[in-house]
C-alpha cells in the first residue's frame, strides 16, 4: 500500500465532463480524463482494506456486491498511485478482456462496495481503469494476441456482444480457430447498437475488433443463425458452438392503441439512430425521428435514460419518462446497508440534460400507460396514464403496483419509446439448435454450468442469465471459454 493515509489526504476528484449546453449538440463522448498525475492521487485513495469487497463480486440480498470479474482492484490502484501504468495494465488484463468498455458504461459495482465509500466518496476505480486502458492503447501496449500454435479445434460463436467477444478473445488466445457470427452489419451487439455513441464511441469498439481480426478471429456479418444458416450446419462445421445472442426479446406494453405508428421499442430506436450516424460517418443526424415531438419514454432504467439523452439531441419538444416504481430515497435506508448495491436515487446524464433543457426532471414515478390514442392517420397523438400504488398481494405476500382509480390523465405524445426491459432469448435461435429454455425463457443449463442440453452447444451472457450488465456478460464470456476449452482439450489453462 503506497499511501497509507491517502484516503484521508485526498478528496475524490472526477474527470471533467462537457457541460450539458455543449454536449447535447452532438453525439460525441463527453467524459474526459484527468491528467496522469491527478489520477495517481485518486489511486492513492485506495485503502487496501483487509476484505476488499470491491473485487468480491458476490451476491448479497439478491444483488451483486463488487466486481463480477474479480479485478485485483487494490493492487491495480496501488500501481496507479505509483504511476506504473504498464504493470497496472498487465494486472488489469489478467482478469479483464475489455476495460475500455466497462470504464465507460459499467455502473461501477466495485465503487458501490468500496470501504472508503462507507464514510466518504468511494475510490474512483472506474476512472482509474479508463486511464489505464487509454494509456495502454496510446503507448502501444494493447496488441493483437496471436497464438504461437493452433490446436486445430474450431469454435463458432453466435453473437458479437460483450460475452461473445470475450469468449472469442480467450479461445483464440488458447489457439483454437474462432469464427463469430453476427446478424447485424457490424460487431458489438448491444455495445454497438444498444448503447448510444455519446456513452460509448463506436471507434472504441472498432479499434478492438481490428486487433481481434489481426489475431486470427474471423467475423461473419449479416448472417442470421437460425434463418440464414441452420444449427445443424454449424455443428457439422465446428467442434463447439457458443450461443451468445443476448436477451433480445423486448417486453411489450400491451394496451389499447399499441398498434399506432410512432411507438418503438427503445433498442430499435437507439439502433436506428446509431446506424444512420455510422452509415453517414456522422454527417447526417436523423433529426426527423424526434425533432419537435413530445416524447414519452416508458421505463426508468439505463436504456430509458439513453432514450432521454438521444431524444434531446434529436431536438425533441418535450421528454417525459415514466417509472412504475416509487421514487428511491436519496440516501441508503437501514434495510439497505453497505456493501449491498445502494438502492438510492440516481440522476444520470439524460436526466441532467433534460433538467438543463426543460428546467425539470423528466421522471414521473408510480405511473404507467393504460391506453394510446391515434389520430386519423393512425399516428399516436396522446397517451392515457394512471398513478400506481404499492399493495401487498394476499396470495403471494409480495408488493405489487396497482392502478389508483380517478388518477387517469391524458398527455400529448408524438413519439413513444418502450424501455421496459427484456424477457429473454429469441425463440428461433434456441429452436435452431434444439436447446431448452428455463421458466424465464433464458437458455437452460445446470447450476454453474454453461453447457446446454444439446451436446457441444454452450451458452453465455444475457442469453444465459437474462438481461444484465456488460461486466456480467464479459465475465460469462470468459467462463464459457474455459468450459469449452476444457470440453475439447480435457483441461484448461485459461
Side by side, which strands form the sheet with 294-298? Answer: 263-265, 415-418, 294-298, 318-323, 363-365
Which SS3 state, helix, strand or coil, does residue 48 take? Answer: coil
The pLDDT assigned to 462 comes to: 97
Residue 298 has pLDDT above 70, yes or no: yes
> pLDDT (tens digit, 9 = 90+) per residue, 117-165?
988 999 999 999 999 999 999 999 999 999 999 999 999 999 999 999 9
Fold of 154-248+423-489: FAD/NAD(P)-binding domain (3.50.50)
The pLDDT assigned to 459 comes to: 98
Superfamily of domain 263-418 in CATH is FAD/NAD(P)-binding domain (3.50.50.60)
Percent of the chain beyond pLDDT 90? 94
Q: Lowest-confidence range among 38-42, 181-185, 426-430? A: 426-430
> pLDDT (tens digit, 9 = 90+) per residue, 302-344?
999 999 999 999 999 999 999 999 999 999 999 999 999 999 9
Q: Which residue has the cell 433543457?
A: 357
Average pLDDT over residues 70-94: 97
Distance from C-alpha of 102 to C-alpha of 477, rounded to nearest angstrom: 14
Half-sphere exposure of 464 (CA within 13 A, CB side): 30
Distance from C-alpha of 313 to C-alpha of 307, rounded to nearest angstrom: 10
The secondary element (H helix, E strand) that includes residue 171 is helix 162-174
Q: Which of 147, 217, 219 is nearest to 188 (CA)?
A: 219
Q: Which residue has the cell 393512425?
A: 378
CB contact at 8 A, 361 and 355: yes
Q: Which of 243, 228, 237, 250 is nearest to 160 (CA)?
A: 243
Range(s) within the chain of domains with CATH label 3.50.50.60: 154-248+423-489, 263-418
Percent of the chain beyond pLDDT 70? 100
Q: Phi and psi at residue 215, in whole multiples of 5°?
A: -80, -5
Residue 404 has pLDDT above 90, yes or no: yes
Residue 265 has pLDDT above 90, yes or no: yes
Distance from C-alpha of 165 to C-alpha of 177, rounded to nearest angstrom: 14
Residue 48 has pLDDT above 90, yes or no: no
Residues contacting 277, CB < 8 A, separation 6+: 27, 197, 284, 285, 286
> pLDDT (tens digit, 9 = 90+) per residue, 8-25?
999 999 999 999 999 999
The pLDDT assigned to 435 comes to: 97
* CATH 1.10.1060.10, applies to 6-138: yes
Distance from C-alpha of 72 to C-alpha of 132, rounded to nearest angstrom: 14
- Grid coordinates belonging to 492: 484448461
Of residues 432 and 423, more confidently modeled? 432
- Strand partners of residue 73: none
Q: Which of 207, 196, 194 is nearest to 461 (CA)?
A: 194
Residue 2 has pLDDT above 70, yes or no: no
Average pLDDT over residues 88-104: 98
The pLDDT assigned to 424 comes to: 87
Buried b (16+ CB within 10 A) or exposed e, 122-140: bbbbbbbbbbbbbbbbeee
CB contact at 8 A, 461 and 163: yes
Name the E strands within 99-239: 154-158, 177-181, 218-220
Q: What is the DSSP string of 70-127?
A: ---HHHHHHHHHTT-HHHHHHHHTTT-S-HHHHHHH---HHHHT-GGGGTSPPP-HHH
Q: Which of 465, 480, 430 is nearest to 247 (CA)?
A: 465
Distance from C-alpha of 127 to C-alpha of 407, rounded to nearest angstrom: 44
How confident is residue 3, by pLDDT bands cut at 50, 70 and 90? confident
- Grid coordinates belonging to 201: 464511441
> pLDDT (tens digit, 9 = 90+) per residue, 351-397?
999 999 999 999 999 999 999 999 999 999 999 999 999 999 888 88
DSSP at 288 = G
Q: Phi and psi at residue 443, in whole multiples of 5°?
A: -65, 130
The pLDDT assigned to 396 comes to: 87
> pLDDT (tens digit, 9 = 90+) per residue, 215-263?
999 999 999 999 999 999 999 999 999 999 999 899 999 999 999 999 9
The mean predicted confidence, pLDDT, of the chain is 96
pTM listed for this prediction: 0.96
Residue 1 has pLDDT above 70, yes or no: no
Q: SS3 string of 147-158?
A: CCCCCCCEEEEE
Range(s) within the chain of domains with CATH label 1.10.1060.10: 6-138
Amino acid at each position: 500500500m503506497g499511501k497509507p493515509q491517502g484516503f484521508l489526504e485526498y478528496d475524490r476528484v472526477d474527470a471533467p465532463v462537457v457541460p450539458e449546453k455543449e454536449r447535447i449538440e452532438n453525439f460525441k463522448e463527453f467524459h474526459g480524463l484527468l491528467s496522469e498525475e491527478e489520477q495517481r492521487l485518486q489511486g492513492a485513495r485506495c485503502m487496501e482494506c483487509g476484505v476488499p469487497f470491491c473485487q468480491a463480486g458476490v451476491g448479497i440480498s439478491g444483488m451483486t456486491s463488487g466486481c463480477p470479474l474479480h479485478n485485483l482492484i487494490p493492487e491495480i490502484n496501488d500501481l496507479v498511485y505509483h504511476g506504473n501504468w504498464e504493470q497496472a495494465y498487465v494486472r488489469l488484463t489478467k482478469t479483464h478482456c475489455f476495460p475500455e468498455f466497462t470504464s465507460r458504461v459499467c455502473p461501477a459495482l466495485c465503487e458501490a462496495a468500496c470501504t472508503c465509500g462507507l464514510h466518504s466518496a468511494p475510490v474512483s476505480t472506474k476512472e482509474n481503469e479508463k486511464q489505464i486502458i487509454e494509456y495502454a492503447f496510446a503507448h502501444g501496449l494493447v496488441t493483437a494476441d496471436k497464438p504461437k500454435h493452433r490446436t486445430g479445434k474450431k469454435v463458432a460463436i453466435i453473437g458479437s456482444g460483450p460475452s461473445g467477444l470475450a469468449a472469442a478473445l480467450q479461445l483464440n488466445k488458447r489457439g483454437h480457430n474462432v469464427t463469430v457470427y453476427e446478424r447485424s452489419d457490424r460487431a458489438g451487439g448491444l455495445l454497438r447498437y444498444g448503447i448510444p455513441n455519446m456513452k460509448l464511441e463506436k471507434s472504441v469498439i472498432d479499434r478492438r475488433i481490428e486487433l481481434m481480426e489481426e489475431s486470427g478471429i474471423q467475423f461473419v456479418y449479416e448472417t442470421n443463425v437460425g434463418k440464414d444458416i441452420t444449427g445443424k450446419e454449424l455443428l457439422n462445421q465446428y467442434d463447439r458452438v457458443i450461443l451468445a445472442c443476448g436477451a433480445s426479446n423486448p417486453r411489450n406494453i400491451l394496451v389499447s392503441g399499441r398498434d399506432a405508428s410512432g411507438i418503438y421499442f427503445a433498442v430499435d430506436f437507439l439502433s436506428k439512430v446509431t446506424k444512420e450516424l455510422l452509415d453517414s460517418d456522422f454527417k447526417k443526424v436523423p433529426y426527423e425521428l424526434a425533432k419537435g415531438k413530445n416524447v414519452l419514454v416508458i421505463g426508468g432504467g439505463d436504456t430509458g435514460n439513453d432514450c432521454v439523452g438521444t431524444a434531446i439531441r434529436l431536438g425533441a419538444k418535450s421528454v417525459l419518462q415514466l417509472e412504475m416504481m416509487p421514487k428511491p430515497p436519496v440516501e441508503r435506508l437501514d434495510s439497505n446497508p453497505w456493501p449491498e448495491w445502494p438502492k438510492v436515487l440516481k440522476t444520470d446524464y439524460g436526466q441532467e440534460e433534460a433538467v438543463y433543457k426543460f428546467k425539470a426532471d423528466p421522471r414521473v414515478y408510480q405511473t404507467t400507460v393504460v391506453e394510446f390514442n391515434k389520430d386519423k392517420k393512425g399516428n399516436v397523438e396522446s397517451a392515457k396514464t394512471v398513478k400506481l400504488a404499492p399493495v401487498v398481494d394476499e396470495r403471494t405476500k409480495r408488493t405489487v403496483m396497482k392502478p389508483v382509480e380517478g388518477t387517469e390523465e391524458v398527455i400529448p405524445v408524438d413519439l413513444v419509446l418502450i424501455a421496459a426491459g427484456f424477457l429473454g432469448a429469441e425463440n428461433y435461435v434456441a429452436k435452431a439448435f434444439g436447446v431448452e429454455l428455463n421458466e424465464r425463457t433464458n437458455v437452460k443449463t445446470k447450476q454453474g454450468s454453461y453447457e446446454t442440453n444439446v451436446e457441444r452447444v454452450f451458452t453465455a451472457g444475457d442469453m444465459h442469465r437474462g438481461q444484465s450488465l456488460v461486466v456480467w456478460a464479459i465475465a460469462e464470456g470468459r467462463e464459457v471459454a474455459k468450459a469449452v476449452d476444457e470440453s475439447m482439450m480435457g483441461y484448461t489453462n485459461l
